[in-house]
């Protein structure tokens, strides 16, 4: 959530930056400032009236003690007249505060100055492309055929027991999935990220805190009886560990990692681009999250990008890094880098990670703060990234490493998988 002071002090600049995200209601900025003016005016009236009532009430006791009964009775009459005005004023102030909050959360985060102009994924900026795209043998097939051939994943069985988008990993497929998860976690913890196993369902406050609500409400699975949401990523519970927390500056940066299943409804997804592992309703992911001082967040973002890049290099996958344009960024992000790996059998790039800086947007919702060296309380900056999302990594590993004799396992992954090839 944006800070009202930022909107007030930089009104036209805010509107220009919102336009970079193709936000269609820039007039809400003016509405928010006007509502904040009303809130301040009502607060001042309430405080003044309350102070007068409190002062008069104290004076009544003093006057009675001094035997000035007539003056005390006059003040009592004044208090009796003022008191009934407090509640309507407080109710009006509460209504304005609610309207202000409800309007404020409709604004997305402001994109950083470096964000490219553009509205569609085709307008994202390619920052880097690396690795060698393999030349496959004549009989090479996409991963949905490979998994059937080697009995690694059963999509039909998953459809039977749950529905489309819920695959069953079998035998060496399950072992490969587990190997990737352990490899990712070890890689992250060696870089100083503290491993967590968070809850896989969260309450409404947590979903609101990281920006899933109200923006992505339709994409999450909801447990109606308990008013809980299945997590779309472990970013949500991890970041919420610091909701309503003031962190000591010497404890920064906070670095966390977690494996979790992730649940996304992906309503309306269909066609060839969602076949097999390309888009699932349940998938596994290892996430990295950092909470940092505001001066460090963009330096940290670059470090996290390098961290994810090295992971892809260890997996020996061809990849590219994209800086997302304003129109393709998430509601909450100030700057996002996407990582894509090339799927040789499908002949296209598949997204496997997003690394984002949210600046203070999440922290303001979460009330996640720290005390700087001067003792002043500041909003923290939050960042997160996938390191990595498994389905498309697995798809690319199977497709790019297929030979006529079997599927080759990257060298870095062999100690975890305990074999060099799947055959």
Q: What is the pLDDT of residues 275-320, one digit of tens each?
A: 899 999 999 999 999 999 999 999 999 999 999 999 999 999 999 9
Model confidence at 135, in pLDDT bands (50, 70, 90)?
Answer: very high
Task: Name the pTM for this structure.
Answer: 0.92
| pLDDT value, residue 53 | 86
Percent of the chain with pLDDT over 70: 98
User: pLDDT (tens digit, 9 = 90+) per residue, 84-119?
Assistant: 999 999 999 999 999 999 999 999 999 999 999 999
d(CA 339, CA 232): 19
Domains with residue ranges and CATH for the chain: 4-104 (1.10.287.40), 121-422 (3.30.930.10)
Numbered residues of the known binding site for L-serine:
233, 264, 287, 384
**202-241 tens-digit pLDDT:** 999 999 999 999 878 889 999 999 999 999 999 999 999 9
Binding residues: 233, 264-266, 287, 351-354, 384
Binding-site residue ranges for ATP = 264-266, 351-354
pLDDT in tens, 157-202: 999 999 999 999 999 999 999 999 999 999 999 999 999 999 999 9
pLDDT at 56: 85
């Amino acid at each position: 959530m944006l800070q009202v002071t930022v909107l007030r002090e930089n009104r036209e600049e805010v509107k220009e930056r919102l336009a970079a995200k193709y936000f269609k209601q820039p007039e809400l900025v003016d509405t928010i400032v006007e509502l904040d003016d009303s809130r301040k005016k009502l607060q001042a009236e309430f405080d003044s009236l309350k102070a007068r009532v409190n002062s008069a009430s104290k004076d009544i006791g003093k006057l009675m003690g001094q035997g000035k009964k007539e003056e005390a009775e006059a003040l009592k009459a004044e208090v009796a007249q003022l008191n009934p005005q407090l509640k309507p004023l407080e109710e009006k102030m509460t209504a304005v505060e609610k309207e202000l909050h409800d309007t404020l959360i409709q604004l997305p985060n402001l994109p950083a100055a470096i964000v490219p102009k553009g509205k569609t994924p085709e307008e994202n900026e390619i920052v880097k492309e690396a690795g060698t795209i393999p030349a496959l043998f004549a009989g090479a097939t996409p991963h949905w055929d490979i998994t059937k051939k080697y009995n690694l994943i059963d999509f039909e069985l998953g459809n039977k027991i749950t529905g489309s988008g819920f695959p069953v990993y079998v035998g060496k497929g399950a072992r490969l999935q587990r190997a990737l998860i352990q490899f990712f976690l070890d890689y992250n913890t060696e870089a100083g990220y503290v491993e967590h196993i968070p809850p896989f369902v969260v309450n409404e406050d947590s979903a609101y805190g990281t920006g899933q609500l109200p923006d992505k409400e339709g994409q999450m699975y909801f447990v109606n009886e308990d008013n809980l949401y299945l997590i779309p990523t472990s970013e949500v519970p991890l970041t919420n560990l610091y909701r309503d927390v003031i962190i000591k500056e010497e404890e920064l940066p906070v670095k966390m990692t977690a494996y979790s299943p992730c649940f996304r409804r992906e309503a309306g997804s269909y066609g060839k681009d969602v076949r097999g592992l390309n888009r699932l309703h349940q998938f596994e992911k290892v996430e990295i999250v950092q909470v940092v001082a505001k001066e460090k967040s963009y330096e940290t973002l670059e470090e996290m990008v390098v961290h994810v890049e090295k992971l892809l290099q260890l997996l020996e996958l061809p990849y590219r890094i994209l800086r997302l344009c304003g129109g393709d960024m998430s509601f909450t992000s100030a700057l996002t880098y996407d990582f894509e790996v090339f799927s040789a059998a499908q002949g296209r790039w598949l997204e496997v990670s997003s690394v984002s800086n949210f600046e203070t947007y999440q922290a303001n919702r979460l009330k996640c703060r720290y005390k700087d060296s001067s003792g002043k309380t500041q909003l923290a900056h939050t960042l997160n990234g996938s390191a990595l999302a498994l389905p498309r990594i697995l798809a690319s590993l199977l497709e790019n490493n297929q030979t006529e004799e079997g599927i080759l396992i990257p060298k870095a992954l062999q100690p975890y998988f305990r074999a060099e090839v799947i055959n």
